[in-house]
Amino acid sequence: MPLQPHDPAVPLKGHALRNEHLRQRAVQRAESAPPLARLLVTIRAQLLGLTRLELARRSGISRGTLRDLELGIHAPTRRILQQLLAFYQREGVPVDRIEELRSLYAGAGETLEQFIARLELRAGSSRELARRVGISAATLWEYRRGNFPLPWELLNRLCAAVGEDVAGAETLWREAERQRLRQRGYPEPLVEFWVLCSRAGYSEKHLLTLGLPTAAVRRLRYLELPPWDEMETVVRQIACNGELLALERMWRSGEASQPNETPDPFGLRLRQLRKKHGIARRELADLFGIGGKKPARIIKYIEEDGFYSAQAYPAGLAALLTDSDSQRDGLIEAWRKRRTQFHRRHRPETRFDFRLTRELYGFEPSDMEPILGYSTVEYQKIERGVHRVSATGGDRILRAIHEAGRRKLEALLHQRRQRESEREAWQHPRSVRELIALLAQREGGLIPLSRHLKRLGLTGLWTARLRAISRGQEVPPWCVLERVANVCGITECDEVHDDWLLRYRERLGQIYPSPLGVELRLLIGELAESLRDFSPRLGFNYSVLVRDLQRIDRDEPIQWFHVERIARAAGAISSDERWRELHALWATASFRRKQPKT
């Protein structure tokens, strides 16, 4: 017969004997139970000497719940476990047993997930721990499951909230970060570098402020190793001496094993093709409709740093700059290979075939609704692998994107052909206004045209005057327009000259009443900008020319030789039709003078 544990000389009887038998049978059954259930039975039956009913009454936990826990049917919830731990601490259960129970429930703390679970247990609940550090319980759950990378600063706050030493957590945190980066294809030197950056609280956007060149930052985005000399300044600011030396050895070894290829063959080939065809960056930017103060800068970034732009999309650049299908396919494949590395570091679960095809043609997720019928959110879930699609469904999506991209490329090439025709239109202007407007379009504006003409030695054509000519507000003498056409390389000006004759004659007719005076000034305007510039051709004083024209404007009697010497100085000959027209206007001057003025 079992003896009374408090008084070994007294044997157990009645209910005490019955309870002892219950405790012994519980311990025997627990030998085949899970470790957590076995420890719960050991603490209750052997350390506390309680039956299940007694424990239920004293701890406030139902007897059925205790039965399921001790038989291993259910694992305890965090609330139930907290009640048990509080009761055990009040009853004086040894600390090592309580810690063993925590370890069996939350894990041994060998991973970051288990460590966070132990912190939640010590805080009482995940909601309480999240409240103490100022985040939501849902966010803490995401961190615990590894869906979000846990910031080092937040881990420090979590440990401080429950009085846990953070030194033991650093190793777990480092290993979790390394594992996350390795799964995304990061080379080992970059894994260590980004772990150090995360510990210091720096992200990619902070690297430029730490002194890292822009080109090096873009190479990091594509999982490439920039030269160590460029990285050393940044690493010294985030690592201790031992970590610096270890990372330097790893980095130089990675550089030696890194393929000796051009970091961005796509950008390099683009630049070579662009220079081969003699196309400026600004011209490409204008074709794609890139705005801003320096639109050509986008093309520069693409060529030099592998920059991706949805405006200057890769398929469009390849279509504009390549001459054959094989050349275009090789260029797109080079872009696709490098762009895959970029996306792999962010979301390895992404459907790269969908993402790269969409980016190939510069489509945004919001553009997919008219193409595929999916809303922006629905398509993003498909592209990110949240919603699965069948193989045939995926093929239909790719075909639809390629078809929409083909139409987009056709519109781009049509726009280039239209631009080329407009660019050559300056060689065949049809009017005075078109002459200046097309030249301004060729040079990029009226201000650049004015500067260009000044560099070529033409003065008196400031921007405001060119604007007035292009708007039809001023019609300059033909000699001015002829010099502009000559220095700008325009050889066909017959239509412009005919338009000038009509417009200049109309303008003179509004100022001078005599048709003879209008025609003489029309002849002068073809050779000189003003009467003073024309007078040296006559061999007499400028004032004499002005006096003769004033008399002609009033249709006063004047001898023919006064008109003849002006006409001959202007290049007219007696056999010309205009000479006979001038003579007829001179002969009828007296009749016009006699007519009443209206």
pLDDT band for position 357 (50/70/90)?
very high
Rounded distance between C-alpha atoms, residue 593 and residue 264, angstroms: 83
- Would you say the C-alpha torsion 115, 116, 119, 121 has a positive or negative sign? negative
Element counts in the chain: helices (H) and strands (E):
35, 0
At 567, list the tokens.
């006409």
Contact yes or no for 33/70 (Cβ under 8 A): yes
Helix then strand then coil, % of the chain, to nearest 5: 70, 0, 30
Q: What is the pLDDT of residues 81-124, one digit of tens each?
A: 778 888 888 888 888 887 777 777 766 567 888 888 888 878 87
Work out the average pLDDT over 378-387: 89
Q: Each residue of 253-278: b (16+ CB within 10 Å) or e?
A: ebeeeeeeeebbbbbebbbebbeeee
Residue 422 pLDDT greater than 80, yes or no: no
Evaluate whether 180 touches 149 at the Cβ level (below 8 Å): yes
Q: What is the mean pLDDT of residues 187-196?
A: 92
Least confident of 9-13, 72-76, 118-122: 9-13
Q: Beta strands of 240-324 (E only): which ranges?
A: none
Per-residue pLDDT at 21: 76
Residue 506 — φ and ψ, nearest 5°?
-65, -40
pLDDT score at 352? 87
- 133/160 Cα distance (integer angstroms): 9
Judge contact between 404 and 396, C-beta under 8 A: no
Q: Which residues of 546-579 are buried (b: 16+ CB within 10 A; e: fewer)?
A: eebbebbbebeeeeeebbbbbbebbebeeeeeee
pLDDT digit string, tens, across residues 502-550: 999 999 999 988 898 899 999 999 999 988 988 888 888 889 889 988 9
Q: Are 538 and 568 in contact (CB under 8 A)?
A: no
Q: Which CATH number fits domain 14-106: 1.10.260, 1.20.120, 1.10.3470, 1.10.10?
A: 1.10.260
Element (H, E) at 102: helix 95-106
**The model's pTM:** 0.55
Q: What are the residue ranges of helices labelled H in 146-264? A: 152-162, 167-183, 188-200, 214-221, 228-238, 241-257
User: pLDDT band for position 554 (50/70/90)?
Assistant: confident
Neighbours of 209 (CB within 10 A): 9
d(CA 306, CA 303): 6
Gyration radius (Cα) of the chain, Å: 45
Share of the chain above pLDDT 90, in %: 34
Residue type, 286: D
Query: What one-character DSSP code corresponds to residue 123?
Result: H
- Candidates 433, 531, 522, 530; CA nearest to 484 is 433
DSSP 3: B
423 compared with 405, residue with greater pLDDT: 405
User: Which contacts (CB < 8 Å, 24+ apart) does range 171-174 have?
Assistant: 172/109, 172/110, 172/111, 172/112, 172/115, 173/112, 174/199
Q: Of 54, 80, 85, nearest to 68 (Cα)? A: 80
Give the Cα separation of 316 and 122 in Å (integer).
Answer: 58
Task: Average the pLDDT over 338-343 and give the result.
Answer: 82
Domain with CATH 1.10.260 in the chain: 14-106
Contact between 438 and 426 under an 8 Å Cβ cutoff? The reply is yes
Q: How far is CA 3 from CA 7, 16, 54, 559, 591, in A?
A: 8, 10, 20, 159, 157
Q: Is 8's pLDDT higher than 60?
A: no
Q: Is the pLDDT of residue 331 over 80?
A: yes
pLDDT at residue number 477: 93
How far does the chain reach from its first CA to its final CA, in angstroms? 149
Dihedrals phi, psi of 323, to nearest 5 degrees = -110, -15
Mean pLDDT of the chain: 86
Cross-strand bridge partners of residue 3:
11
Q: What is the mean pLDDT of residues 249-272?
A: 81
User: pLDDT band at residue 13, thresholds of 50, 70 and 90?
Assistant: low
Identify the residue with better confidence: 581 or 9: 581
Q: Is the pLDDT of residue 400 over 90?
A: yes
Question: What is the pLDDT, as a whole number, of residue 245?
Answer: 92
Phi, psi of 590 (to 5 degrees): -65, -35
Can you tell me whether residue 561 is helix, strand or coil?
helix
Q: How far is CA 281 from the centre of its chain?
A: 18
Mean pLDDT of 352-366: 93
- Tens digits of per-residue pLDDT, 489-498? 888 889 999 9
Of 481, 567, 486, 479, whose CA–CA distance to 529 is shortest? Answer: 479
Report the amino acid identity of residue 412: L
Tokens at 65, concatenated: 């719940």
